[in-house]
């Protein structure tokens, strides 16, 4: 779904667990396009601060600065937060309030808990998706072909 949106120059900008739905065949559907935006070109940036605090990429938080903005990479970030949340049980940057959450996101301050077994492939994929610099995040193709999805296929629920 995200690949289709990006191919159509649409950024979702509010990907989160609450906007993922399962159909009767347990296939994931993406909903709530209320914050989605269409770009005229791949180079265009948006500067509106929007989204759900735990899932917002750092460039969205810093979007009002003249030299900043955000594009398709914010959806990659949000997918990294979703994957972390599914595996750990809580978002990586969750804090006592929104301001503290934003500070943790900007500082890229998160850790994998020691008491939960998470594969090195999963950690590698999440770390790559949660890079502070949007240019350093993987493409959707790189995500789809990451070893996490190949080596652990039998362990990944069919609905994921």
Residue 97 annotated in active site: no
Residue 155 burial (CB count, 10 A): 9
Contacts 24+ apart (CB under 8 A), 95-102: 98/53, 101/53, 101/54, 102/53, 102/56, 102/61
**Annotated catalytic residue within 7, 14, 75, 97:** 14
**Residue given tokens 């609905």 in the structure block:** 159
Catalytic residues: 14
């Amino acid at each position: 779904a995200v690949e289709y949106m990006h191919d159509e120059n649409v950024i979702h900008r509010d990907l989160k667990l609450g906007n993922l739905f399962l159909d009767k065949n347990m296939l994931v559907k993406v909903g709530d396009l209320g914050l989605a935006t269409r770009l005229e070109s791949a180079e265009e940036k948006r500067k509106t601060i929007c989204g759900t605090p735990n899932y917002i990429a750092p460039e969205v938080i810093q979007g009002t600065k003249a030299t900043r903005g955000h594009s398709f990479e914010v959806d990659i970030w949000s997918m990294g937060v979703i994957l972390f949340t599914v595996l750990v049980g809580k978002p990586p940057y969750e804090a006592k309030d929104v301001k503290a959450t934003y500070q943790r996101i900007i500082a890229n301050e998160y850790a994998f808990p020691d008491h939960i077994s998470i594969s090195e492939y999963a950690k590698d994929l999440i770390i790559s998706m949660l890079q502070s610099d949007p240019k350093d995040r993987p493409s959707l193709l790189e995500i789809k072909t990451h070893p996490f999805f190949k080596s652990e296929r039998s362990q990944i629920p069919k609905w994921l």
